[in-house]
Structure 1
C-alpha cells in the first residue's frame, strides 16, 4: 500500500509556511516491485526539473530491516531509493509506505556573501523597498526571524533579469493584474523560481501575464531576460519582488493541522549581497535608488569551462 503527499508553497507573501496537499499533480511518483530474491525495490520518477527532497516512511515493515523513515535528495529524473532484503528468504516482505516531497535540497551549503546582480538590465535605475510579511498584517501570523524580501521598482514597465545563473524550475503564468478600487493585497501573482548551483532558490514575483521569455528547465545566466514586470496593486509604479530561500526543514508531521497563525516556514531566507554602480558588495537599504551594473567576472563567476569557451567564440 502506498500513499503520497505533495508539499508545495502556497505563496511567498504568506511566508512560505502555508501549505496545501495536492495529490493530483504527479510531480514525483514512487513505485515498488518484488525481485527474484523476494527483495523489494523502491524507485522514483521525477517529472519536473530541479532538486526535491523526498521523505519515505514505512507504516508496515515485516521480514526486513532498515530505517522506518529516511530523506532522499532527488536530482535525476529517475532512480532507486532503497532495496529491501528479506530476513527469511523463504517468505515475502510485508510492507506499506507513504512519501512526501518538497522543492529544494535540505540544508544546502551556500555562500551568504555571494554577489548577485540587480534584477534589471544594465544601467537601469531601481528604487528598493523591503516587503513585509503579509501573513502578519492580514492573518495574524508571525514573521520569520530571517525574513528578507525586496521589491525593485521602476517608473515604467521594464524587463526583469536573472540575478544569478540557475535552472528555471517553476513558472506560474496565470493571472491578469487586479485593478479593484481600494485593493491593497492580492495573492494572484505570476512568478518564476530559479534553482542555483548551491541549492538556494530565487523566486521572482510580479510578472505581466504572457510576458515570460524563458521556459521550465532552461538554464539562465546573470542578466538573462525573464519577462516583464507589472504594476503593484494600488500603485502607479512597476516592480518585482525577489526572495532568495533555501529548504531548512521537512517536519511535515509538525505542520499538520497548524493554522496560518501558528504555521512556520519550511524555508529559510538569505539576505543577498548585490553588485551595483559604485559598490561591488552592497547590502540594500530600503527607499534608496540603485543603478544596475555588472562586470564580465560577475556574469561568468559560475560558468562552466564549456560555457566560457562558447562566450569567447
Structure 2
C-alpha cells in the first residue's frame, strides 16, 4: 500500500456533528405551550458544550421570531419564546431544526499560548497533517488549514494543551499496529471546548486508556489517556486540531457538502523547552515544557485556591 498518506489526518471527526442524520441526536428540542399562550422552545443536549441551533419556521401565525440562530450551552435550557400577537388566540407553527457543534463566531486570541500535548521533558516530533475534505470542512483545502500530529518514540501519556471542558469522547477502536496500513479513520478521540469557544480535538488514543470523563474540566498538563500507533509510520502519536465555528451555512443543507469549511482553523502558539512562544515547524523535534503561569492562566479564584493549597 502506498505510504504517501502516512501523515494525513482523517477529517471524519466532525461528521458526528451532523444533525438530523445522526443516530443519536446531540440536541433535542421540546416545545411547551404556556397558560398565557406563549410557546417555549427548550433544548436538551447529550454534552455540556456549545451548539449553534438553526430553527426554520415553515409556518408561523399570530407571532413572529426575531432570529433563526440560537446558542445552546449546558445540558438544557431555553432557546426561544414565541409570544402571541393577539393574546386571545393561540400561535400556529410548524418548524424544523438542525445544529452543529460550536459557538458561532467566538472571540478568541489567535496568539494564545498552548502546551505541547505531553508531559514535561518528553521529546516529540511535530508533523503537519494534510487535508481530507469532509462534511462541514468543505471539499477544498481551507486557506487557514492547520492540523498537527505529535510523535513519540514510545507509548506515552497525552496531556491537555489548555484548560477546557470535555464535551465528547469516542472510545471504540483497537489500535492498528499493522505496518501495511497507511491510513485509517477508525481512531479514538477526545474533544475539549475552551472558554473562548475554540475546540480542540485529540485523535489517536489507545482504546480504554482515557483518564477523563464527559463534562470534566481539565487544565493544561492534565493527563487524558495514552497515544497509539495507527498508521504506516509505526510510531506512537496523537493528532491535535483546534477549530472554531465561523459559518452558519450548515443551516442550508443543500450547501453543506459543497461549501467552504464551516470551521476556521487555528495555527497555535506553543510553549516548548526552548521557547516561551513558538509556532511549530513540521518534522522538527521539540521537548515538552510547562510553567505555573500557563497552567494557572484560565483558572477561577476557586481553582487557583485549590491549586496553590498545600498538598496533603
Q: Please indicate, yes or no, whether the TM-score normalized by the shorter chain is above 0.5.
A: yes
Partner of 1:38 in structure 2? Answer: 37
Partner SS state of residue 170, structure 1: strand
Partner SS state of residue 192, structure 2: strand
Partner of 1:158 in structure 2? Answer: 156
**Aligned-pair Cα RMSD in Å:** 2.2
Partner of 2:166 in structure 1? Answer: 168
Larger deviation, residues 122-131 vs 24-33: 24-33
2:91 to 93, 98, 104: 93
**Following superposition of structure 1 onto structure 2, how do residues 247-266 of structure 1 map, counting pairs within 5 Å?**
247-256=245-254, 259=257, 262-266=258-262
> For the Cα contact (< 8 Å) 1:276–1:293, is it kept in 2?
yes
Shift of 1:278: 1.8
Shift of 1:78: 2.1
Partner of 2:60 in structure 1? Answer: 61
Partner of 2:276 in structure 1? Answer: 280
Larger deviation, residues 170-179 vs 112-121: 170-179
**CA–CA separation in structure 2 for the residues paired with 1:188 and 1:182:** 15
**CA–CA separation in structure 2 for the residues paired with 1:288 and 1:173:** 30
1:13 to 7, 10, 14: 10
TM-score (norm: length of structure 2): 0.88
Unaligned runs of 5+ in 2: 1-8
**CA–CA separation in structure 2 for the residues paired with 1:165 and 1:17:** 21
Shift of 1:250: 2.2
Shift of 1:31: 1.6
TM-score (norm: length of structure 1): 0.88
Partner SS state of residue 205, structure 2: coil
Partner SS state of residue 71, structure 2: strand
**Following superposition of structure 1 onto structure 2, how do residues 235-250 of structure 1 map, counting pairs within 5 Å?**
235-250=233-248
The number of aligned residues is: 297
Shift of 1:253: 4.4
> For the Cα contact (< 8 Å) 1:15–1:133, is it kept in 2?
no
Shift of 1:309: 1.0
> For the Cα contact (< 8 Å) 2:126–2:282, is it kept in 1?
yes
Unaligned runs of 5+ in 1: 1-11
> For the Cα contact (< 8 Å) 1:15–1:265, is it kept in 2?
no
Determine if the alignment matches structure 1 residue 305 to structure 2 residue 309.
Answer: no
Q: Deviations over 1:19-38 (max 9, x none)?
A: 74435313322122222222
> For the Cα contact (< 8 Å) 1:148–1:271, is it kept in 2?
yes
Larger strand proportion, structure 1 or 2? 1
Shift of 1:181: 6.0
Shift of 1:93: 1.3
Shift of 1:180: 5.0
Larger deviation, residues 178-187 vs 16-25: 16-25
